[in-house]
Amino acid sequence: GAVVSQHPSRVICKSGTSVKIECRSLDFQATTMFWYRQFPKKSLMLMATSNEGSKATYEQGVEKDKFLINHASLTLSTLTVTSAHPEDSSFYICSARRGIGGMSYEQYFGPGTRLTVT
């Protein structure tokens, strides 16, 4: 099956610093990658959708200047949380979809990154 990795799996940073999370599709080319945020006992909240080589599409209420997304290649997308605050502490999960447009039906999830901002 398709494998998606995320790095780091856990990160603790100080308030005001920036943190970069990497998402890689290991054995397939991901034309579309998604970034989700999940609060405890809550469902997944889509933050943004990124297509390789183009700007990410952010969901309403998500600050694009705070959550920088780069999808530089078909196997790598990065999420950078800039000037992190304690309220940014959360579980961030990426997923990758292969295929063109909506023709592929499966999204493969990374293992998630637990961010704690102190």
The tally of CA atoms less than 13 A away on the side-chain side of residue 118 is 4
- Residue 86 φ then ψ, to 5°: -50, -35
As measured in angstroms, the least distance from the Cβ of 15 to other proteins is: 23
Residues that bind other proteins (CB under 8 A): 34, 42-46, 49, 91, 93, 101-102, 105-112, 114
DSSP sequence for 45-89: EEEEEEETTSPPEEPTT--TTTEEEEEEETTEEEEEE-S--GGG-
Task: Give least dist CB 112 to other proteins, A.
Answer: 4
User: How do strand 90-98 and strand 113-117 relate by DSSP bridges?
Assistant: antiparallel
- Which residue's CB is nearer to other proteins, number 43 or number 54? 43
Of 86 and 102, the one with the shorter C-beta distance to other proteins is 102
> Between 14 and 60, whose beta carbon lies closer to other proteins?
60
CB of 41 to other proteins, least distance (A): 8
